[in-house]
Structure 1
Amino acid sequence: MTKAIDYFYTHISPWAYFGHQVFLDLAQQHGIEVRFRPVHLSGVFDASGGLPLARRHPVRQTYRLIELQRWREKRNLPLTIHPRHFPVDPTLADCCAIALAACGGPVAQFSALAFRAIWAEEGDLTDRDTVAGLLSKLDLDPLPILAEAEGETARRTYADNQALAIELGVIGSPCYVLEGEPFWGQDRLDLLADALASGRSPYRPV
């Protein structure tokens, strides 16, 4: 039976951007199914004691800026430290990914474009035309996908993803959950790789 990883992320997370392709390559290397689960972090933070960026202590906000520069260099990815359209509500882009996943569409490629749009190209992911342009780059008709993203089914899945994230102990984006064991942060991908390579049983709280 093929193993699967639940991939919880939101497109306004620079850390998910840094880890996106590295994670996908790792999953492909090990023949792992990826279950894409875009999630709004508001309820996740409320349940886990996390804080949105603007409410964090200034020392933590400053340290984040240093880490962004380190990981930009480490991953060799373009990144605007202070993008024009951040923070914004990620619901439209996140739900487009949900709609694509539901129909077997190119969700991984869409998310890569969405990450790059906000973090490297000053794109506004709340703007319908901007998101439509990303879908068009994938040779997709954007109108039906946007309609699905704005519809009840995708929004219900978005809420379900949040509830599942809370149940599984997800505390931020990205989080990769393998057999119930969460790996929070793209800086834990080496540990996820070790777990996949060894085939060990998942760790549980003791």
Structure 2
Amino acid sequence: MSDLSFDLFWSFRSPYSYLATPRLRKIGEEYDVTINVRQVYPIAVRIPGFFKTVNPMWPPYLLTDTARIAEFENIPYGWPNPDPIVMDLASGEVPKDQPYIHRLTRLGVAATQAGKGIEFLSEVSRIIFGGDTPQWNEGSHLADATARAGLDLAELDAKIEADPDAYEKIIEENEAAQRAAGHWGVPLMVFEGEPFFGQDRIDLLVWRMKQKGLAARK
């Protein structure tokens, strides 16, 4: 069994994270490598005031680019309803009261602790960004996606409610490790200290790991 592994820094508000996940999950299934999923909060809450200073051309380009990537990769895609981050898109104001992202991110940590990190990201981001699940936060959508990942949503929620600070500490540690790796964005893959930022760097990540002995699972 290989001892190769890489860290994956990932956010539930990042469409690029969502678009990278099918390929990353496939890598974990096809190659003898461990994916260390490390949840971080979206840049909207991780860097206060970010969207007040960002170039106004960036958000429209992001929407165009992500839709293009989804079409090219044949991945279902649509902007989330509701958005995991509640904010005023016109002003860039992000209120402190966030009803979705804290639970989602903590759930990602709990799923990773249960050994189903990449599966949880894959299934849950699909209902958020897949374009065909309006009001993903209502009904049984989240519970069903969690079940498809091999986990029980109520059990994960109960673990988090028992000690929410422990999960926040892990998220803070992940964010510190992300900065130490040399980049602030997601998805960020880090292999042996070398950062690979963005879904368009996955091929380079695999190439580098193959140089270090990455092999197909038997």
CA offsets per residue over residues 92-118 of structure 1, 9 Å max, x none?
1121121122132x2222211211111
Between the aligned partners of 1:87 and 1:161, the Cα distance in structure 2 is 19
Greater percentage in helix: 1
Residue among 183, 192, 198 paired with 2:205: 192
Partner of 1:60: 58
Between the aligned partners of 1:110 and 1:176, the Cα distance in structure 2 is 17
- The one-letter amino acid of 2:57's match is V
Between the aligned partners of 2:195 and 2:46, the Cα distance in structure 1 is 16
Q: How much does 1:130 deviate?
A: 5.0
Cα distance, 1:55–1:72 mapped onto 2, change above 3 Å: farther
Instruction: Report the 3-state secondary structure (helix = DSSP H, G, I; strand = E; otherwise coil) of the residue aligned with 1:35.
Output: strand
Aligned length: 194
CA offsets per residue over residues 178-201 of structure 1, 9 Å max, x none?
00111011111111121122239x
Partner of 1:112: 122
Partner of 1:97: 108
Between the aligned partners of 1:137 and 1:14, the Cα distance in structure 2 is 21
CA contact (8 A) 1:96 1:148 kept: no
- The one-letter amino acid of 1:56's match is V
Cα distance, 1:57–1:40 mapped onto 2, change above 3 Å: same
Between the aligned partners of 2:146 and 2:58, the Cα distance in structure 1 is 35
Partner of 1:25: 26
- The one-letter amino acid of 1:86's match is D
CA contact (8 A) 2:4 2:34 kept: yes
Q: Which runs of 5+ in 2 are unaligned?
A: 86-99, 214-218
Between the aligned partners of 1:183 and 1:136, the Cα distance in structure 2 is 31
Partner of 1:143: 154
- The alignment-based identity, stated in percent, is 24
Partner of 2:189: 176
Output the aligned Cα RMSD. 2.7
Q: How much does 1:176 deviate?
A: 0.4
Cα distance, 1:136–1:4 mapped onto 2, change above 3 Å: closer
1:73 aligns with 2:71: yes
- The one-letter amino acid of 2:101's match is P
CA contact (8 A) 1:10 1:94 kept: yes
Cα distance, 1:25–1:70 mapped onto 2, change above 3 Å: same
Instruction: Report the 3-state secondary structure (helix = DSSP H, G, I; strand = E; otherwise coil) of the residue aligned with 2:20.
Output: helix
Residue among 173, 189, 214 paired with 1:160: 173
Partner of 1:83: 80
Q: Which runs of 5+ in 1 are unaligned?
A: 201-206
Cα distance, 1:42–1:191 mapped onto 2, change above 3 Å: same
